[in-house]
């Protein structure tokens, strides 16, 4: 059980990140003209700009929250921000970002 915990939470995120970065780089190098920006026709529908913006703002909020929440050590904020307040801020900001993402996804 200890090995699975170490693999999925210590090793696998780095493997996934490396595959993402190297795969994106190779795709850009070797398949540069196969990328398409066909979203302009989809965004012509009424309300799609609002839905797209809400969805992307929500996703960015969730990403930034996870990034700072998981990668910021406790000693950086424990002197001026109690853990209970940090958890409540994370729940409120994450909930708001999740609702924005959900509304944007449903409006599509």
Q: How far apart are CA 99 and CA 78, in angstroms?
A: 29
Q: Is 31 helix (H, G, I), strand (E, B) or coil?
A: coil
74 labeled binding residue = no
Listed residue (16, 90, 12, 106) closest to 54, CA to CA: 106
Q: Give the annotated binding-site residues.
A: 56, 66
Q: Give the annotated binding-site residues for heme b.
A: 56, 66
């Amino acid at each position: 059980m200890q090995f699975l915990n170490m693999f999925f939470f210590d090793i696998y995120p780095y493997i996934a990140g490396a595959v993402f970065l190297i795969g994106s780089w190779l795709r850009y190098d070797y398949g540069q003209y196969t990328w398409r920006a066909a979203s302009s026709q989809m965004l012509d529908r009424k309300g799609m700009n609002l839905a797209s913006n809400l969805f992307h703002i929500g996703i960015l909020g969730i990403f930034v929250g996870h990034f700072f929440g998981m990668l910021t050590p406790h000693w950086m904020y424990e002197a001026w921000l109690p853990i209970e307040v940090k958890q409540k801020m994370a729940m409120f900001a994450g909930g708001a970002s999740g609702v924005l993402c959900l509304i944007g996804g449903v409006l599509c």
